[in-house]
Amino acid sequence: MLTLIFGLSIDSSIGRADEAHLPEQARMELFIDNLHEADKRQFLDNENFYLPYEVWAGVKTDAENHVTSITWRNIFRHEGSLNVRFLSHSVTFLQATGCALHSGISLEELPQSLESLYLSDNRLMGVANLTSLPDGLKFLYLGTNHFTGEVCLTNLPSGLVTIHVSENRLTGPIVITNLPASLKMLAIEKNFCSGSLDLDCLPLSLDRLFLSENHFSGELCLTHLPRALRYLSASDNRFSGSLDLTCLPEAMLGLNLSNNAFSGSLDLSSLSHNLLRLYLMDNQLSGQLCIHGLPEHIRTLHLEGNAFQGDIVFGAIPIGLVEISISKQRGAKLCDLDGEAFFDERIHVVY
């Protein structure tokens, strides 16, 4: 197979100045040069010459035949890597998900034109350096890879909308007090990050925050969350201290704080009116539990695996609620606000 139509190879001594003048065809061939030979065949003709990049699967060009978009989903089956330093400076969208990519990737070598980067579901490894991303980047998806080490979130592109680095092997503390004002989703779940978290200075635009299955610890203040926040998941960590749920954003639909070490009494009377799902199971919450004044539209409430004492008192249960799961001490009763025995088939009691 001829490696490149233009006679170049990835091992050639190509200086940065020379790279800027490479033809588009050469850039694309260098971009995929480290893919497995079997995966490169889809870009070759019957004589093992590279096809014109304009006809490559998933490649889109503009009116001047400059590459603007590359969309590859599950099209490579063997371990390989992409040489992002050779990406055309006209590319705004790059997706290579589920493509068996491995080894490291130099995010600082991405073209400044890039706005969307989707590299999830691969085997990329090494440190994810997010401090030198393209200035115009809006969407960053690096989830389900093998990235390691600490990740810095304090020098991100100002227009970033999504950061998804879940299901990696990231470690160390995370600072989320200086995120871009435009950010709508931050997903760090299923890593090994640790230390405390300050949620008091999150971007006002933040819509979804996923922190579950890490090693975060310390108290978690929920009284100054962004008004736009709809989903917060911080389950399966080591958070502790009391829980104040009286100032949740009105936009909030789902809150999952299960499997931590939160303690103290629980006030459910002033939850967000729009809350649909609340998961607080497997903590150390205590005191008498009064389930009264629940949001009108709530559908799921999980409180089992805590240490509530005494009878459990119920007020009116919203019509749309599908399930309440609670645990109680043996001998404790379910009763209404008047102390009378209370029964509702939607209540599941765990001893």
**Residue 243 within a domain:** yes
**Residue 119 within a domain:** no
Contact 106, 130 (CB under 8 A): no
Q: Among candidates 346, 317, 342, 318, which has minimal Cα distance to 332?
A: 342
**Residue 264 within a domain:** yes
So what's the pLDDT on residue 3?
44
**Residue 257 within a domain:** yes
Q: Among candidates 182, 238, 229, which has minimal Cα distance to 210?
A: 229
**Residue 250 within a domain:** yes
Q: Residue 222 has which token pair?
A: 């929920």
What distance in Å separates the CA atoms of residue 242 and residue 221, rounded to the nearest whole number? 9
Greatest distance between any 2 Cα atoms in the chain = 87
Number of domains in the chain: 1
219 forms bridges with which residues in the sheet? Answer: 240
Angle at 148 between CA 143 and CA 153, to 5 degrees: 70
Residue entry with tokens 């400044």: 112
So what's the pLDDT on residue 18?
65
Contact 182, 161 (CB under 8 A): yes
So what's the pLDDT on residue 14?
54
So what's the pLDDT on residue 330?
83
pLDDT along the chain (351 residues), means of 10: 45 55 95 97 97 98 98 97 96 98 94 98 96 98 98 97 99 97 99 98 98 99 98 99 98 99 97 97 97 96 96 94 91 92 92 74
Q: Which domain holds residue 296?
A: 231-351
**Residue 108 within a domain:** no
117 forms bridges with which residues in the sheet? Answer: 94, 140
- In single-letter form, the type of residue at position 149 comes to G
Contact 176, 186 (CB under 8 A): yes
So what's the pLDDT on residue 8?
47
So what's the pLDDT on residue 4?
47
Q: Residue 334 has which token pair?
A: 């379910």
What distance in Å separates the CA atoms of residue 185 and residue 230, rounded to the nearest whole number? 10
Residue entry with tokens 């033809």: 23
What are the b/e assignments for 262-292, b being 16+ CB within 10 Å? Answer: bbeebebeebbebbbbbbbbbbebeeebbbe
So what's the pLDDT on residue 17?
43
In the β-sheet with 290-291, what is the strand arrangement from edge to edge? 290-291, 312-314, 334-336
**Residue 185 within a domain:** no
**Residue 345 within a domain:** yes
